[in-house]
Structure 1
Amino acid sequence: MFKFGALSEGMVTTLKPKLGANPERARSHNKQLVLRAVRHSGTIGRAEIARASGLSTQAVSNIISDLLAEGLLVEQGHRSAGRGLPVQQYAIRPGGGYAFGVEVRPTAMFTALVDLVGTPILTHRTPLKDPTKGVILDTVCAQLDHALSQTQVQRHMLMGAGIVMPGPFGDTGLTGTASELPGWNIGDPAEIFATALELPVFVENDANAAAMAERMNGVARGLDDFAYLYFGQGLGLGLVQNGQILQGAFGNAGEIGHIQVLVDGRPVELESATSRLSVQACLARQGMDVTTMDDLTSLYSSANRHLMLWLDQAAQALSAALSIIENLFDPETVILGGAMPDVLLDHIIARTVLPERSVSNRPDRVHPRLMRGTSGRMTATLGAAALVLHQAFTPTIAEAR
């Protein structure tokens, strides 16, 4: 099976190209160029791949032969190109490989097995009453076995596993927040999961993974620079620049939930005004126990007064945060998504005031400044799997050591 570049033992990193330093890496890089061109177009011919990848037609022909033999590409009929013989078309073969995605929250684990084009073939939710390391590791291993058994996918067809969990990573000044997983601030989570699963593993925070899911198959497909505000237990920010996740020195870039914004004239942490924890706490103070997205949807349908007040507060807080995000990162768009019902996200977007004094306030815009994601409540879970697939379609070559 095609080996898709160097897998890092930890967070996904941007690797510096050094073409020619290692013939095998150079060949792997070129395979990724071809796969990226095919995935971007859906179906495509050899000459078009050569133009898109910058490789010679002969090199593309050789690589396509390899990829067909490895089961990663499939012939997809012919297309007439004017005079001359019809052109053979190629597409990604969905069953050419699989990725396992895991999202760990303090109260539940979500898993997904997806094929090579990112289509989920199985998803599952498992309640977590005890989010300690041992329980989480045992549950992840059990869910992987369950997914393979239910789908009849062979283990050797797995390209790797992506694990997403709330940040921050490491022992920081934010340790101890209600949205984090206890005990995971010590040690290397990627190494721990890789040992347990015996697979290449990527670990990311949930917001970054959600951003990657939207870029693979959501509203951000084709975008190289955007920001993704993710509603998990808390509120995180995934930043994509030049097609790569912006991580920071320790993988904690985007912890926007802990910045201060003004709501009704008083400074509050953004996460305390607009997040799942925030709305649950607000409604709990009124005697309402809200635990699921369906609960929130039902309250919205009945125009619950307390929920409506919270939504106004959330929109106000988001308006202040939007000014910071736009002027710091100059994104093509800001996307809202995650574990929040679409109707609530649409309500917040409709009432968010777009700041006039912003670099994003320009007449030549192609995309709206604020959009709702389309990947739904499984966004971060699918994003976990997308971390693995991203490597197959992103040409990166590590420096020779």
Structure 2
Amino acid sequence: METNPVRSLTDEQVLRALMQHRRLTRAELAAEIGISKPTAGESVRRLTERGLVADTGERTPGGRGMGRVGQYYALADPGSALVVGIAPTGVTAELIDAYGDTLARAARSITRPAQPAAVVRALHLVAASFGTPPAVTPSPGTASPGPSVRRPRLAVISAADPVDRESGRLVQLPDAPFLVGSLDPVAVLASSVDGPIVVDNDVNWAARAESASADFAYLFLGEGLGCAIVSDGSVQRGRFGLAGEIAHILTTGVDGRATPFIEVFGRLGLRRPDSSAIDVPRLLAARADDRSMIGKAVAGVVAAIVALTDPAEIVLGGAWGPALLLEIVAAVAGTPRPVPLRATEVAEPSLTAARQDALDRLRALIADAR
């Protein structure tokens, strides 16, 4: 059957308006979208027949000079999406709906050093903690009995490791401090999610959370080291998804010689035992001379980023990056092409961006079902 493009667009606008406002009458939909009341009414009728919109049973005040009684309509099923953060300390998961509400949140810690088997168990546990009751189809003309009547329609995952662009598997690179071997979160969660599963590196997600210029670099300085390059408003992931892996960029070492960035922290005794992970508490308590040395090492990385990508600014994130902002700014001032630096102000940036992406994708799925 041929689809009328005007009707299809109107139906999408109605669905998106209901996602924003939760419930609206036909008259309110007409005013919100800028269409006639009859057109809004026809769209509501079509969407109700398809089981996408339902009468909530609520009514506006009316009668006795107050005008006609209006019926409130809402999404028949706001669906849900799974948002997962895989970090060195554990796995965090949220279940959100198309309104942007967090329906549930769960977390599982991971014993250090993180191993794939432990992460797999944590992923299974957080997914199972939300439950996956059988699908319930609302009766025609009635609202959905609850916000989570079926499995999540999609999942978005933020992982503190390099991520293969094509498969979504985590990649073990030299000196990567967390997962030994590779992990396939798509395969782990496939049985818990009805639709697509999107995986990306946590630093790339953190960059997406920033309200920065269209061309900037997000430098993550925490237990691990990473960078996201944003060009023309898009994160540049590289051929295999490994762009921004800065651990082995040559920079100024403790003895003034060229040294891989990650080795600077080993020379200063700032790594965790038997790990390439940086000991953040020890770094933050380091002497002024060592902090200055770290600032110079970071400045060498910044100089390389500036030479290759020409960013408008550098945003510092991670557990210790913002804390050493003064030392880093002072060192960057002496590089050939100084660039503005600032500390991120976004809390939980990786999870924040992954959550927004999951919301956008969930809403698009619902709108495309019209």
Fold conserved between structures, TM > 0.5: yes
Matches within 5 A, 1:73-222: 96=78, 98-105=80-87, 107-113=88-94, 115=96, 122=105, 124=107, 126-129=109-112, 131-146=114-129, 154=148, 156=150, 158-163=152-157, 164-167=159-162, 169=164, 175-184=173-182, 189=184, 191-199=186-194, 200-212=196-208, 214=209, 220-221=210-211
Q: Which residue of 1 aligns with 2:330?
A: 351
8 Å contact kept, 1:206–1:230: no
Unaligned residue ranges in structure 2 (runs of 5+): 21-28, 54-74, 133-145, 366-370
Unaligned residue ranges in structure 1 (runs of 5+): 1-21, 40-44, 51-55, 72-92, 215-219, 362-368, 396-401
Change (3 A) 1:180 1:156: same
Q: Deviations over 1:372-394 (max 9, x none)?
A: 11234x33344443443354589
For normalisation by structure 2, the TM-score amounts to 0.61
The residue type paired with residue 175 of structure 1 is L
SS in 2 for 1:224: coil
The residue type paired with residue 267 of structure 1 is A
Change (3 A) 1:180 1:135: closer
Change (3 A) 1:174 1:258: farther
Change (3 A) 1:309 1:157: farther
The residue type paired with residue 272 of structure 1 is E
Change (3 A) 1:328 1:148: farther
Change (3 A) 1:243 1:64: farther
8 Å contact kept, 2:222–2:320: no
8 Å contact kept, 1:337–1:345: no
CA drift at 1:252: 0.9
Q: Is 2:227 aligned against 1:227?
A: no
SS in 2 for 1:142: helix
8 Å contact kept, 2:83–2:355: yes
The residue type paired with residue 269 of structure 1 is P
CA drift at 1:97: 5.5
Q: Deviations over 1:62-112 (max 9, x none)?
A: 999679x968xxxxxxxxxxxxxxxxxxxxx9x95554333334x422314
Change (3 A) 1:310 1:118: farther
CA drift at 1:168: 5.8
8 Å contact kept, 1:162–1:386: no
Structure with a larger share of its residues in helix: 1
Q: Which residue of 2 aligns with 1:259?
A: 249
Q: Deviations over 1:274-311 (max 9, x none)?
A: xxx769942769xxx996x6x46xx85xxx4x353432
The residue type paired with residue 113 of structure 1 is E
Q: Which has the higher contact order (CA 8 A, sep 6+)?
A: 1
The residue type paired with residue 137 of structure 1 is V
Q: Distance in 1 between matches of 2:331 and 2:287?
A: 16
| Larger gyration radius, structure 1 or structure 2 | 2
Q: Which residue of 2 aligns with 1:9?
A: none
Q: Deviations over 1:182-211 (max 9, x none)?
A: 2217xxx25413424334211112211222
Q: Distance in 2 between matches of 1:390 and 1:271?
A: 36
The residue type paired with residue 177 of structure 2 is S
Q: Which residue of 1 aligns with 2:138?
A: none
The residue type paired with residue 355 of structure 2 is A
Q: Which residue of 1 aligns with 2:72?
A: none
The residue type paired with residue 370 of structure 1 is L
The residue type paired with residue 193 of structure 1 is V
